[in-house]
Amino acid sequence: MTMLVLDFDGTMTDAEAEGGPYRLGYLQDLALLVDRPADEVLALAERLEGQVLANPEQHGWLFGGSIVAPASVDPYLRVMPVARMLLDHFGVLEVPHERERVLDRILYKYNYKKTLNVFREGAGAFLRGLEGQAVYVVTNSHTDAVQEKLADLGADWLVPRVHGLAKKYVLEPGFSEVPESMSLPGLGRPVLLRRGHYHRVLSQLLADEGKAWSELLVVGDIFELDLCLPLQLGARVGLMVNEFTPAYEVDFLRGHARGYVLGGIPEIAGLL
């Protein structure tokens, strides 16, 4: 029987609808950091976000000096390059590790609490119907936040099966289970694979269930964060798309024997 690992935000939820308050709060906090009126910073952010969306291949989530995900897919990712461009514009927080700590830890943590609960159609019924199967949620978000959302959906059985803070974005150069990178046609930079912490989380779950990588299905909404590593290791992967999903990700998975492109939650059931 297939073991299913689900991402949550953006996969089980509508990231655009739920992430609006997060984005607004994040940019308002940036206005305080740069000591400029919020209206001025918000207007500049709109222009910069337009640049990001117009050139998605040139922008990404920069973590530890490397691009670890595209920047266009959801409000959480889009605000990151915009924030860095804003800080560059105003000449604030120019020391890289200090900037990273403020943007990726502090502002993320306090503004994530402002997100709304907006679930994709069919999320509750689908998750409730999986009870008793080998299913887990592995997410970059905080465990308790996702557990609360599952409780709201009535999927209480999944609450203890949430593994948050999975650090899918953290690269470990010394991690040798996979090659350093892979290439996707249409993307001018490599997709970096050595996400050691994420690998350890998935490996432990497979061991607990007595499953091999070939028996694993991972569903997520961002190929580089959720899917590239398990695909490399032999798992099947499903990409839950939205209007901002990069075309190169869709094209690649449509042409891959173990890749699937999903337009809605009911389509996951057909892969189990």
Tell me which residue of 10, 12, 142 sits closest to 69, measured CA to CA. Answer: 10
- As given in the structure block, the two tokens for residue 51 are 């640049």
Measured distance CA(20)–CA(251) in Å, rounded: 28
Q: Domain holding 253: CATH number?
A: 3.40.50.1000
| pLDDT tens track for 11-65 | 999 999 999 999 999 999 999 999 999 999 999 999 999 988 888 777 888 888 8
Are residue 132 and residue 265 in the same domain, yes or no?
yes
User: What pLDDT does residue 61 have?
Assistant: 86
**Sign of the torsion angle spanned by Cα atoms 71, 77, 79, 84:** negative
Are residue 67 and residue 168 in the same domain, yes or no?
no
Decide which of 51, 83, 112 is a domain's last residue. Answer: 112
Q: What is the pTM of this model?
A: 0.90
Are residue 28 and residue 147 in the same domain, yes or no?
no
Are residue 37 and residue 162 in the same domain, yes or no?
no
What is the mean pLDDT of the segment spanning 117-141?
Answer: 96
Are residue 134 and residue 204 in the same domain, yes or no?
yes
Are residue 82 and residue 177 in the same domain, yes or no?
no
Are residue 10 and residue 65 in the same domain, yes or no?
no
Decide which of 112, 136, 159 is a domain's last residue. Answer: 112
Measured distance CA(126)–CA(107) in Å, rounded: 33
Decide which of 83, 112, 141 is a domain's last residue. Answer: 112
Are residue 102 and residue 231 in the same domain, yes or no?
no
**Structural domain of 258:** 3-15+117-269
Are residue 195 and residue 121 in the same domain, yes or no?
yes
Are residue 139 and residue 205 in the same domain, yes or no?
yes
Measured distance CA(265)–CA(272) in Å, rounded: 12
What is the mean pLDDT of the segment spanning 99-116?
Answer: 88
Query: How many residues appear in the chain?
Result: 272
Are residue 145 and residue 76 in the same domain, yes or no?
no
Domains in the chain, number: 2
Are residue 231 and residue 263 in the same domain, yes or no?
yes
Calculate the average pLDDT of the chain: 94
Measured distance CA(94)–CA(100) in Å, rounded: 10
